[in-house]
Amino acid sequence: MSTIVDVPESSKLIDNGRTDPRAGGWKKGVGIIDFILRLGAIASALGAAATMATSDETLPFFTQFFQFEASYDSFSTFQFFVITMSFVGGYLVLSLPFSIVTIIRPHAAGPRIFLIILDTVFLALATSSAAAATAIVYLAHNGNQDSNWLAICNQFGDFCQQISGAVVASFVAVFLFVLLIVMSAVALRNH
């Protein structure tokens, strides 16, 4: 009994694209948008990593003993940010072939599920580094009175602008990740 059920199911995966081209075209379109969104996410993730990694400001005055310098090295959160965003960008580049497979074979569930699972893991990674960096950027801008942490953005204006830009770029990548997962999940429907 089970073989009778299985045979039309497996042949359906191949034939459906021919018998009902409209459904196949819809899923192909989702695959193409997926690919384009991935390119955007690569740009924002690597842009965020590069912007953060090049943030470095040395103040034009110094005392006898040391010079005032702010760089992303000073904060372990920002180091984490640079490493994580590079990882995410690298993953997204490696995921492009799988995205192409979903365009060529819009009815294959395997590549989509593979992408959903990895996208979820890297969404968590990207979100964590973006949010942690945001918390520090907020402190750098506003400080915290109760714990006596002073805002450093008054002194290091350019540094602060650069790390803020990196955080914004990383949140663009996070938003695109959420879109990618939602789109893949919807495309799995009616399979």
Binding-site member from 35, 138, 141, 161 for a second copy (CB under 8 A): 138
Q: Residue length, the chain?
A: 191
- Could you tell me the smallest distance in angstroms from the CB atom of residue 182 to a second copy? 5
Nearer to a second copy, 77 or 86 (CB): 77
Q: Which of 7, 14, 20, 94 contacts a second copy by CB under 8 A? A: 20
Query: Does 158 contact a second copy by CB under 8 A?
Result: no
Label residues 26-63 b or e (16+ Cβ within 10 Å = b). ebbebbebbbebbebbbbbbbbbbbbbbebebeeeeee
140 binds a second copy (CB under 8 A): yes
Judged by CB, which is closer to a second copy: 104, or 191? 191
Query: By rule CB under 8 A, what string of x and - marks binding of each residue 94-113 to a second copy?
Result: ---------------xx--x
Tell me the sheet residues that pair with 57. 70
**SS3 state of residue 58:** strand
CA–CA distance, 33 with 23 (Å, rounded to integer): 16
Binding mask 51-70 for a second copy (x = CB under 8 A): ------------------xx
Among 54, 58, 67, 144, binds a second copy (CB under 8 A): 144
Residue 152 touching a second copy (CB under 8 A): yes
From 88, 95, 75, select the one nearest 46 (Cα to Cα): 88
Distances (CA, A) of 58 to 157, 158, 179, 180, 189: 11, 10, 39, 40, 54
CA-nearest of 9, 41, 34 to 106 is 34
Binding site for a second copy (CB under 8 A): 1-2, 5, 8-9, 12, 15-16, 19-20, 69-70, 74-77, 109-110, 113, 116-117, 120-121, 123-124, 127-136, 138-140, 144-150, 152, 174, 177-178, 181-182, 185-186, 188-191
